[in-house]
């Protein structure tokens, strides 16, 4: 059973308790897990095993059939929708493979938007790490897929989220760029004492995380 002691001492960022979910078939049952500051958790599993659904559940986007998710000690699916929105805006960063940028704007304007929304600062060092400092003036439509993905990651990190949820974030990138992007994300986690859930099918990338789970046979198995 959850007790507020999970969040005492301030090291726990997220606690998921006894989570089960089904759509047409049961995806998983009775998953319990937690994420601490500076911790990186990788989730592997074949296509259709429910990785994205689990990430959606943990990241405020999908209420599970049963079970609870606690962030900052609060049962997130018991919150008023305005509170949940606030949590999503200020506390959580979601990076998906398909990026969501505003096409009519430049790369810089896209990043600026998130800065304005959350009252944060654009970190020059982050732009360098992601190797986008020289393309900031370009329109989104003039950028390559890899550049667009890196701009969208800069936009998410600029909000200064405490928990990053990344769903195959480098799936569309070549290997070298993919590793640079992950370096930038890992460095962010360390510097800001944030936490990361990373869905990936790259086992080498998973090995750089602190914990590896595989979603299989309706369970989350620690590897």
Q: Using the rule CB under 6 A, which residue among 13, 14, 19, 27 binds ligand ADP?
A: 27
Q: Which of 192, 97, 198 is nearest to 149 (CA)?
A: 97
Q: Which of 206, 201, 204, 175 is nearest to 51 (CA)?
A: 201
Q: Which is nearer to ligand ADP, 62 or 122 (CB)?
A: 62
Pick out residues in 7-46 that bind Mg ion (CB under 5 A).
none
- The dihedral through the CA atoms of 211, 222, 65, 16 has a sign that is negative
52 binds Mg ion (CB under 5 A): yes
Give the three-class secondary structure for 180: helix
Least distance (Å) from ligand ADP to the CB of residue 43?
A: 9
When CB distances to Mg ion are compared, the closest residue is 52
Q: Which is nearer to Mg ion, 13 or 44 (CB)?
A: 44
45 binds ligand ADP (CB under 6 A): yes
- Quote the CA–CA distance of 28 and 31 in Å, as a whole number: 7
Residue 170: CA atoms inside 13 Å, Cβ hemisphere, count?
21
47 binds ligand ADP (CB under 6 A): yes
Q: Which is nearer to ligand ADP, 7 or 96 (CB)?
A: 96
Q: Enumerate binding residues for Mg ion (CB under 5 A).
A: 51-52
């Amino acid at each position: 059973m959850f007790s507020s002691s999970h969040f005492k001492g301030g090291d726990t960022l997220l606690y998921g308790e006894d989570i089960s979910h089904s759509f047409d078939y049961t995806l998983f049952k009775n998953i319990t897990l937690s994420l601490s500051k500076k911790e990186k958790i990788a989730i592997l599993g074949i296509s259709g095993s429910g990785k994205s659904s689990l990430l959606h559940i943990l990241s405020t986007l999908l209420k599970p059939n049963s079970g609870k998710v606690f962030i900052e000690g609060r049962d997130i699916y018991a919150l008023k929708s305005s509170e949940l929105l606030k949590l999503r805006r200020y506390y959580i960063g979601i990076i998906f493979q398909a990026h969501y940028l505003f096409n009519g704007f430049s790369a810089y304007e896209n990043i600026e938007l998130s800065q304005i929304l959350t009252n944060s600062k654009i970190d020059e060092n982050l732009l360098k790490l992601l190797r986008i400092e020289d393309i900031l003036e370009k329109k989104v439509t003039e950028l390559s897929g890899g550049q667009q993905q890196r701009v969208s990651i800069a936009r998410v990190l600029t909000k200064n989220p405490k928990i990053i949820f990344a769903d195959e974030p480098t799936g569309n990138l070549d290997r070298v760029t993919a590793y640079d992007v992950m370096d930038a994300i890992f460095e962010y986690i360390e510097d800001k004492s944030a936490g990361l859930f990373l869905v990936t099918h790259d086992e080498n990338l998973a090995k750089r995380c602190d914990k590896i789970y595989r979603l299989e046979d309706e369970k989350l198995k620690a590897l």
